Amino acid sequence: MDRREFLKRGSTVGLAAGAFLTFGDKINLFANSKTSNPQLYDLVAIKGGEPNAMFDKAIQSFGGMRNFVKQNQTVVIKPNIGWDTSPERAANTNPKLVSQIIKHCFDAGAKDVYVFDHTCDNWTNCYSNSGIEKAAKDAGAKVVSGSSESYYQKVNVEKGKRLKETTVHELILESDVFINVPVLKNHGGAGLTISMKNLMGIVWDRRFWHRNDLHQCIADFASFRKPDLNIIDAYSVMKTNGPRGVSLADVISLKSQIISTDMVAADSAAAKLFGKVPSEIDYIRIANEMKIGTMDLSKLKINRIIL
Amino acid sequence: MDFIFLKKIRVIISIVFILSISIIFIDISFSIQSIFSQYPLYLQFIPSLLKFLSIASITTVGFIIVIFLSLFFGRVYCSSICPLGIFQDIIIFLKNKFRPNKFLYTKSFTKTRYFFLIIAFLTLLFGTSIGLNLLDPYSNFGRILTNIVRPIIIGTNNIIAFTLESFNLYAISPMEFKGISIFALLFSIFIFGLVLLLSFKFGRLYCNTICPVGTFLGLLSKISFFKIGIIKDNCIKCGECEVACKSNCIDSSNEIIDFSRCVGCFNCFEVCPSIGISYLPRYSKPKIVNINSDKRYFIKSLAILTIGSERLLKAQQKIEIYKDSTKPVLRKFPVSPPGSVSISNFTENCTACHLCVSSCPTQVLQPSFLEYGLLGIMQPLMDFKTGYCNYDCVICLQVCPSGAILPQNILEKQLIQLGKSKLIKENCVVYTEKTDCGACAEHCPTKAVKMVLDTEINKKAPFITDDICIGCGACEFACPTKPYKSIYVESNFTHAVAKLPKQENIEQKVDYKEEFPF
């Protein structure tokens, strides 16, 4: 037991049984049954508008948010809030997009919408300086810390090759609907960070991934809990020096967005948009081989919208 | 003249000081320190003195104000401004509620007093703040708050947060404990216990035997313009003032007051039924303290001891972290905080009050143990196991009251090079496992660490550009290899100035009407 563990245990003793009794009903992983709805498209790509306007338009191709969020359900939205930088630097998801998604969730009847990320930089700074905390709160969502180990619960990754178990933020396990909202950007270690890579922000121990074949772990974890919807923000895109970036010079304006329920397809499309070959991003290739999704876009029904 | 109102003023001022100082140390939202800390700390004697010695400016003359105050009114500092003194008054006040205090005149522990004062003075003279570090009342109070009270508050916050969480409420967020320095904790508990015990049993004995600030200001109050004295014509020899004096410095039967021990609490004014005790212009000649030959010998031997031990201790600055490592990370020196200019400037001026430790949002600043040598014990260092220095943060530079960390603006701070990152290839997973990682480059705010193709292994590996590295430790903190890191910050003994990060210009032409590439 290390020092931190010791102190934490000490401080939780006071909680006694009361807190633990409520943990019983937290494992409701497979409580979602929204797959029955036939979708018009597998993937939507849109460009040329503001993030909120593009989302309004693109989500229609999926029959609107009602197809994903039912009355009185709880929703967890996972943007990328990893870095203590301003929105223009595009290291984090666009706050306008996050806000618009939250509004759609409430319009569809969501009871609660939670927003969190396990940030890399100091979480309170990331939340406020990314503009996401304010945007999310103004839209009515609850903004929760992802930087406390106590929120993370142990899960097994059944199909994982290198990553067989990890701890995951309880909101992911408890919420009815999970919406993944990554920002597309360059990444020094993984090549690109998009949907699958964004899920590193819902686990506690990321260092394990880094020292146990990063690409394999990203693909492994993609098999754990597929988000109900992946909305890729490619409005401003960090082309180099990612994932944190150094200055505004790293960023170009692509004014695009990609939405899909298939993370592998979404990441493949986003990789092409970025100018990369999907199969050259190892985790996309591995996830395709593991049949977590498909990177063969030719087999998909894609709606391409240019505003 | 009746000076009873002085006690009320003293109580009000002291409450303002102890509350404001406590708040800046225990604010766990990190919102108050940077905007507010300079006001209550301005008059803290030792930090202000050290800052003056480091940078003489108008922002550092607080201690001169205190000296003038003492030259006029005696040690009013000790009851109104010093947080450790006020803390003792609170204990004495509370105890009095249950068992009324009955103090009696005692003789001064003169030798002990000057012993501690000389230690503090000599260590300062020899370029180390160790004496002040261990003895300064403000710093001891700060350490009690940082190492004892603050963890209790964080623990309470977390219990509330966990309880709310079980009802699916996330309004309060838990705070991670990121390491507590065992030595700093034990030392704080020791001082806390000592102060508690002495104040409970003997009133302000700590301030009149151990505290070097008390003793120094006591010397000044011997020649102060106004002194508290007994007005023989009015005094009815009831002895109430002696019983009320927590400094045990009123000898009512002989009508003598040892003003060098008086902390200026004015309780005697309040209890006197006949205005027999009051502030008077200097009416008696100050007693001259003769330094006898014993003391001379003592000072000499102390000086020799100090010089000798300083040499000895400075030699052991090479430290090893991660002791069990096969490829251990060896640092020549610990990394000192941004704005500290150099390790020598830092260790000479830091009194280890731990305000920077309390106010560091990433908790990278932690109390040291022996990393700076024995003389630098408890002075904070950058501990990249617990965090890394936030690129856009200058809080520690703003709060430091002693000039150990000097104020710099954000743009200057972003170019302060605390050290340079060094890669240990033998530990790095890119080389050992031949798998991608990039955690270090990911966290680097200047891209001094960048993933560049190493043709030997055909993998992108960390590549370090020294001159834009600021030594913030983000790479070291993020490095996933264990138990030994593969990248670490090699400290600059004297901080250097880094170059601005490079900017690459990206082609900005985007055709929004162009078809998608899929």
CB contact under 8 A, A268 and B392: no
Confidence band of A171 (pLDDT split at 50, 70, 90): very high
Position B349 pLDDT exceeds 80: yes
* Lowest mean pLDDT segment, chosen from A21-25, A60-64, B102-106, B444-448: A21-25
Position B493 pLDDT exceeds 90: yes
Confidence band of B1 (pLDDT split at 50, 70, 90): low
CB contact under 8 A, B502 and A251: no
User: Is the CB of residue B175 less than 8 Å from the CB of residue B154?
Assistant: yes
pLDDT of residue B319: 39
CB contact under 8 A, B480 and A48: no
Residue B123, C-beta contacts closer than 8 angstroms, at least 6 positions apart: B129, B130, B131, B132, B306, B375
Please indicate if any CB of chain B lies within 8 Å of the CB of A166: no
Compute the average pLDDT of residues B69-92. Answer: 95
Compute the average pLDDT of residues B6-26. Answer: 94
Higher pLDDT, B16 or B332: B16
CA trace torsion B49, B50, B56, B59 (10° rounding): -70
Give one word for B283, left, alpha or beta, with left for phi > 0 and alpha for psi -120 to 50. alpha
Please indicate if any CB of chain B lies within 8 Å of the CB of A125: yes
Higher pLDDT, B328 or B350: B350
CA distances in angstroms from B361 to A199, B217, B355, listed in the order given? 25, 36, 12
Can you tell me the distance from the alpha carbon of B64 to that of B51, in angstroms, rounded to the nearest whole number? 12
Position B485 pLDDT exceeds 60: yes
Confidence band of B280 (pLDDT split at 50, 70, 90): confident
* Lowest mean pLDDT segment, chosen from B243-247, B282-286, B403-407, B430-434: B282-286
Compute the average pLDDT of residues B352-365. Answer: 93
Chain segment B426-469, per-residue pLDDT in tens: 999 898 888 899 999 999 999 999 999 999 999 999 999 999 99
Residue A233, C-beta contacts closer than 8 angstroms, at least 6 positions apart: A51, A79, A93, A94, A97, A181, A182, A183, A184, A257
Can you tell me the distance from the alpha carbon of B372 to that of B334, in angstroms, rounded to the nearest whole number? 7
Question: In three state form, how does the secondary structure of B259-272 look?
Answer: HHHCCCCCHHHHHC
Q: Tell me how close the Cα of B6 comes to any Cα of chain A, in angstroms.
A: 44
User: Is the CB of residue A238 less than 8 Å from the CB of residue A257?
Assistant: no
CA distances in angstroms from A159 to A58, A167, A168, A291, B433, listed in the order given? 32, 16, 16, 11, 22
Q: Which of B360, B436, B468, B509 to mutate to test the interface with A (most CBs of A within 10 A)?
A: B436
Compute the average pLDDT of residues A18-45. Answer: 54
Q: Tell me how close the Cα of A29 comes to any Cα of chain B, in angstroms.
A: 17
Task: State the fold for domain B316-497.
Answer: Alpha-Beta Plaits (3.30.70)
Please indicate if any CB of chain B lies within 8 Å of the CB of A182: no
CB contact under 8 A, A47 and B512: yes
Position B148 pLDDT exceeds 90: yes
CB contact under 8 A, A188 and B433: no
Q: Do strands B329-331 and B365-367 pair parallel, antiparallel, or not at all (unpaired)?
A: unpaired
Confidence band of A11 (pLDDT split at 50, 70, 90): very low
Residue B110, C-beta contacts closer than 8 angstroms, at least 6 positions apart: B289
Structure tokens that stand for B215 in this block:
């003793």
pLDDT of residue A38: 55
Strand partners, A183: A233
Q: ω into residue B483 within 30 of 0, thus cis? A: yes
Can you tell me the distance from the alpha carbon of B22 to that of B473, in angstroms, rounded to the nearest whole number? 30
Confidence band of B291 (pLDDT split at 50, 70, 90): very low
CA distances in angstroms from A154 to A129, A157, A168, B304, B394, listed in the order given? 31, 10, 6, 60, 37
pLDDT of residue A39: 65
Can you tell me the distance from the alpha carbon of B476 to that of B499, in angstroms, rounded to the nearest whole number? 20
Domain positions in chain B are 4-132+201-281, 316-497
**Which helix (H) or strand (E) is B165 found in, with range?**
helix B150-165
Q: What is the residue type of B155?
A: G
Percent of chain A with pLDDT over 70: 87
Strand partners, B331: B319
Structure tokens that stand for A57 in this block:
């338009």
Please indicate if any CB of chain A lies within 8 Å of the CB of B295: no
pLDDT of residue B341: 94
Position B283 pLDDT exceeds 90: no
CA A228 remoteness from chain centre: 10
* Lowest mean pLDDT segment, chosen from B19-28, B134-143, B292-301: B292-301
Burial of A158 (0-12, 13-18, 19+ CB in 10 A): exposed
CB contact under 8 A, B392 and A188: no
Q: What is the DSSP letter of A65?
A: G
Position A3 pLDDT exceeds 60: no
- CATH no. for A38-306: 3.40.50
Position A30 pLDDT exceeds 70: no
What is the residue whose two structure tokens read 């903004």? A143
Strand partners, A236: A253
Can you tell me the distance from the alpha carbon of A119 to that of B340, in angstroms, rounded to the nearest whole number? 29
Please give the mean pLDDT across all residues of chain B: 87
pLDDT of residue B141: 97
Position A78 pLDDT exceeds 50: yes
ipTM, two decimals: 0.85
Confidence band of A296 (pLDDT split at 50, 70, 90): very high
User: Of B46, B34, B18, which Cα lies nearest the Cα of B352?
Assistant: B46
Compute the average pLDDT of residues B119-144. Answer: 90
Please give the mean pLDDT across all residues of chain A: 89
Q: Closest CB to B451: pick one of A15, A189, A216.
A: A189
**Which helix (H) or strand (E) is B280 found in, with range?**
strand B277-281
Please indicate if any CB of chain A lies within 8 Å of the CB of B294: no
Please indicate if any CB of chain B lies within 8 Å of the CB of A295: no
Compute the average pLDDT of residues B167-179. Answer: 84
Compute the average pLDDT of residues B329-333. Answer: 86
pLDDT of residue B326: 61
Contacts of A273 in chain B (CB under 8 A): 516-518
Confidence band of B181 (pLDDT split at 50, 70, 90): confident
What is the residue whose two structure tokens read 């960090």? A238
Position A241 pLDDT exceeds 70: yes
Q: Tell me how close the Cα of A137 comes to any Cα of chain B, in angstroms.
A: 12
Position B404 pLDDT exceeds 90: yes
Can you tell me the distance from the alpha carbon of B14 to that of B16, in angstroms, rounded to the nearest whole number? 5
pLDDT of residue B299: 54
Q: Closest CB to A3: pick one of B180, B442, B479.
A: B180
Chain segment A152-167, per-residue pLDDT in tens: 999 999 999 999 999 9
Total Cβ atoms within 10 A of residue B35:
12
Q: What is the DSSP letter of B517?
A: -
User: Of A193, A237, A240, which Cα lies nearest the Cα of A218?
Assistant: A193
Structure tokens that stand for A284 in this block:
């996309």
* Lowest mean pLDDT segment, chosen from A11-20, A298-307, B60-69: A11-20
Can you tell me the distance from the alpha carbon of B404 to that of B388, in angstroms, rounded to the nearest whole number? 20
Compute the average pLDDT of residues B260-287. Answer: 82
Higher pLDDT, B504 or B153: B153
Helices and strands, counts by H and E, chain B: 24, 12
Percent of chain B with pLDDT over 90: 60
Please indicate if any CB of chain A lies within 8 Å of the CB of B456: no
CA distances in angstroms from B461 to A121, A209, A281, B450, listed in the order given? 22, 16, 16, 8
Q: What is the residue type of B341?
A: V
Compute the average pLDDT of residues B120-137. Answer: 87
* Three-point CA angle B82, B252, B97, nearest 5°: 55
Can you tell me the distance from the alpha carbon of B371 to that of B354, in angstroms, rounded to the nearest whole number? 16
pTM for this model (two decimals): 0.84
User: Of B422, B402, B405, which Cα lies nearest the Cα of B413?
Assistant: B405
User: How would DSSP label each residue in A26-45?
Assistant: G--TT----TTSPPS-SEEE
**Which of helix, strand or coil describes residue A192?**
strand
pLDDT of residue B327: 78
Position B378 pLDDT exceeds 80: yes
Position B203 pLDDT exceeds 90: yes
Compute the average pLDDT of residues A14-31. Answer: 40
Can you tell me the distance from the alpha carbon of B251 to that of B265, in angstroms, rounded to the nearest whole number? 17
CB contact under 8 A, A243 and B391: no
Confidence band of B311 (pLDDT split at 50, 70, 90): very low
Q: Which of B442, B443, B499 to mutate to test the interface with A (most CBs of A within 10 A)?
A: B442
Compute the average pLDDT of residues B25-46. Answer: 84
Please indicate if any CB of chain B lies within 8 Å of the CB of A109: no
Position B290 pLDDT exceeds 90: no
Higher pLDDT, B284 or B66: B66
Q: What is the DSSP letter of A203?
A: B
Structure tokens that stand for B344 in this block:
């020598």
User: Of A32, A40, A126, which Cα lies nearest the Cα of A76?
Assistant: A32
Position B286 pLDDT exceeds 60: no
Confidence band of B300 (pLDDT split at 50, 70, 90): low
Please indicate if any CB of chain A lies within 8 Å of the CB of B434: no
CB contact under 8 A, B516 and A272: yes
Give one word for B498, left, alpha or beta, with left for phi > 0 and alpha for psi -120 to 50. beta
- CA atoms within 13 Å, Cβ hemisphere of B214: 32
Can you tell me the distance from the alpha carbon of B29 to that of B361, in angstroms, rounded to the nearest whole number? 9
Buried b (16+ CB within 10 A) or exposed e, A4-13: eeebbeebbe
Structure tokens that stand for A109 in this block:
């009847």
Contacts of B155 in chain A (CB under 8 A): 7, 10-11
pLDDT of residue B302: 54
Give me the long-range contacts of B30-38 (CB less than 8 A, separation at least 24): B30/A124, B30/B359, B30/B361, B30/B395, B33/B355, B33/B358, B33/B359, B33/B395, B33/B398, B33/B399, B34/B359, B34/B394, B34/B395, B34/B398, B34/B399, B37/B355, B37/B359, B37/B398, B37/B399, B37/B401, B38/B398, B38/B399, B38/B401
Contacts of B177 in chain A (CB under 8 A): 3-4, 7-8, 11
What are the backbone angles phi and psi of residue A256, rounded to the nearest 5°?
Answer: -130, 170
User: Of B266, B205, B220, B260, which Cα lies nearest the Cα of B12?
Assistant: B266
* Lowest mean pLDDT segment, chosen from A33-42, A107-116, B101-110, B225-234: A33-42
Position B491 pLDDT exceeds 80: yes
Give me the long-range contacts of B61-69 (CB less than 8 A, separation at least 24): B66/B217, B67/B217, B67/B220
Please indicate if any CB of chain B lies within 8 Å of the CB of A121: yes
Chain segment A119-141, per-residue pLDDT in tens: 999 999 999 999 999 999 999 99
Can you tell me the distance from the alpha carbon of B106 to that of B103, in angstroms, rounded to the nearest whole number? 9
Q: Closest CB to B506: pick one of A8, A208, A240.
A: A240
Percent of chain A with pLDDT over 90: 84
Compute the average pLDDT of residues A223-238. Answer: 96
Contacts of A120 in chain B (CB under 8 A): 442-443, 478
Give me the long-range contacts of A135-140 (CB less than 8 A, separation at least 24): A135/A95, A135/A96, A135/A98, A135/A99, A136/A77, A136/A95, A136/A98, A136/A99, A136/A102, A138/A99, A139/A98, A139/A99, A139/A100, A139/A102, A139/A103, A139/A106, A139/A113, A140/A102, A140/A103, A140/A106, A140/A113
Percent of chain B with pLDDT over 70: 91
